[in-house]
């Protein structure tokens, strides 16, 4: 009886692997494709642009700093694989004026053709205790991290629907899967991208358009270095429980998942576990992906509870040390 049950399970899994490619989206071909990257002058955005350019894509870089854009353009052009490739630079703030964003993307499409892949990578971060963060920082982060992804996506979606093809990537964060100490201004903006992506994917899937949400871990970028300067002690200690990834590694994973049309994009074992734990009602692009979520959810939840307990312990320990230090200062 046990052998029969085991044979049934093995047969079922093999059937899933056979059927899975039939329901997966057709991979996007990057050679000759027009890829737009916001926040493309540095960090993960720049590395994504380089990765796509290496595979023969035409690139439109969008960022605020024109000097950085021109420097990045020169760096990207070193990876050209043919003399027809072009890197177009556009200096604009994607979070302020939708009409301006729409106009510059229209100009980009007139020069390089319709957008095949849009990567929303523009973002910023502020860390600190909830009551210590300026109120206008909450507004600014929501504008940059959320509306800065809404506006470019809104500007290209109609053309993608007309062509019945396209990819849109929202670069979130592991802080968009798990709320952590010090990220009360940042995390909500990244969680918001998940909700936008799920709703948008349901709308555009019939048009052969696929949405990817990327959840990179702490990544060695200029933005991360700047963020680290103001992190509370608790946030630093929690961050030390995981390693810092290289931007090039993260970019390769994001580009691969976007090409394949995967909804979730994560890096490393921690990223994989978080993606399973937070999958909820998110769409899947293969039956095997759904099966992995069903099978692994329970054990990963147990592991996740140990992580949460460890984080709570760090926060309590820091609070007790701070109170002890304050008490000592008063007695002196």
Gap between the Cα atoms of 224 and 284, Å rounded? 30
259 within a domain of the structure (yes/no): yes
pLDDT digits (tens, 9 = 90+) for 1-54: 666 655 565 555 555 555 555 467 899 999 999 999 999 999 999 999 999 999
pLDDT digits (tens, 9 = 90+) for 291-315: 899 999 999 999 999 999 999 999 9
Give the 3-state secondary structure of residue 299: helix
3 within a domain of the structure (yes/no): no
Is 0.85 topped by the overall pTM?
A: yes
pLDDT digits (tens, 9 = 90+) for 267-291: 999 999 999 999 999 999 888 898 8
Gap between the Cα atoms of 49 and 58, Å rounded? 9
Gap between the Cα atoms of 149 and 98, Å rounded? 11
Judge contact between 82 and 58, C-beta under 8 A. Answer: no
Gap between the Cα atoms of 68 and 203, Å rounded? 36
304 within a domain of the structure (yes/no): no
Q: What is the structure's pLDDT at 330?
A: 64
pLDDT digits (tens, 9 = 90+) for 166-177: 999 999 999 999
17 within a domain of the structure (yes/no): no
311 within a domain of the structure (yes/no): no
Mean pLDDT along residues 223-239:
87
Task: Give me the number of domains the chain comprises.
Answer: 1
Mean pLDDT along residues 43-72:
96
Highest mean pLDDT among 196-200, 230-234, 280-284, 324-328: 196-200
Q: What is the structure's pLDDT at 138?
A: 97
Q: Which two tokens stand for residue 134?
A: 């300026």
Q: What is the structure's pLDDT at 329?
A: 64
Q: What is the structure's pLDDT at 22?
A: 47
Residue 148 pLDDT > 70: yes
pLDDT digits (tens, 9 = 90+) for 101-114: 999 999 999 999 99
Q: What is the structure's pLDDT at 13?
A: 54
Q: At what angle do helices 148-163 and 187-204 cross, to 10 degrees?
A: 10
What is Dmax (Cα atoms) for the chain? 76
pLDDT digits (tens, 9 = 90+) for 77-127: 999 999 899 999 999 999 999 999 999 999 999 999 999 999 999 999 999
Mean pLDDT along residues 261-271:
95
How far is the CA of 186 from the CAs of 14, 101, 233, 270, in angstroms?
Answer: 42, 23, 17, 20
Q: What is the structure's pLDDT at 242?
A: 83
219 within a domain of the structure (yes/no): yes
4 within a domain of the structure (yes/no): no
Boundaries of domain holding 140: 28-298
317 within a domain of the structure (yes/no): no
User: Which has more confidence, 332 or 181?
Assistant: 181
Q: Which two tokens stand for residue 88?
A: 């177009």
Residue 238 pLDDT > 80: yes
Give the mean pLDDT of the chain: 91
Q: What is the structure's pLDDT at 214?
A: 98
Catalytic sites, residue numbers? 172, 186, 190
Q: What is the structure's pLDDT at 110?
A: 96
Residue 175: CATH number of its domain:
3.40.50.720
């Amino acid at each position: 009886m046990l052998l029969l049950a085991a044979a049934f399970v093995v047969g079922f899994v093999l059937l899933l692997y056979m059927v899975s490619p039939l329901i997966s989206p057709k991979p996007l071909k990057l050679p000759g494709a027009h890829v737009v990257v916001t926040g493309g002058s540095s960090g993960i955005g720049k590395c994504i642009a380089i990765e796509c350019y290496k595979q023969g894509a035409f690139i439109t870089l969008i960022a605020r700093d024109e000097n950085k854009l021109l420097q990045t353009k020169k760096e990207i052009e070193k990876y050209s694989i043919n003399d027809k490739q072009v890197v177009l630079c556009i200096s604009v703030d994607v979070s302020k004026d939708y009409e301006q964003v729409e106009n510059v993307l229209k100009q980009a499409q007139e020069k390089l053709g319709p957008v095949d892949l849009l990567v929303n990578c523009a973002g910023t971060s502020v860390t600190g205790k909830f009551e210590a963060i300026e109120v206008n920082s909450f507004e600014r982060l929501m504008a940059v991290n959320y509306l800065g992804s809404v506006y470019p996506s809104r500007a290209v979606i109609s053309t993608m629907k007309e062509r019945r093809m396209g990819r849109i990537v929202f670069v979130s964060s592991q802080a968009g899967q798990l709320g952590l100490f010090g990220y009360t201004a940042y995390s909500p903006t990244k969680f918001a991208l998940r909700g936008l992506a799920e709703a948008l994917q349901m709308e555009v899937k019939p048009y052969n358009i696929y949405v990817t949400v990327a959840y990179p871990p702490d990544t060695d970028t200029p933005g991360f270095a700047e963020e680290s300067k103001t992190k509370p002690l608790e946030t630093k200690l929690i961050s030390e429980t995981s390693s810092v990834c290289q931007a090039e590694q993260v970019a390769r994973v994001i580009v691969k998942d976007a090409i394949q049309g995967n909804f979730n994009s994560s890096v490393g074992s921690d990223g994989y576990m978080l993606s399973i734990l937070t999958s909820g009602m998110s769409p899947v692009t293969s039956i095997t992906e759904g099966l992995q979520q069903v099978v692994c959810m329970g054990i990963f939840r147990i592991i996740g509870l140990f992580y949460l307990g460890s984080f709570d312990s760090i926060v309590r320990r820091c609070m007790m040390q701070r109170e002890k230090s304050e008490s000592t200062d008063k007695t002196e």
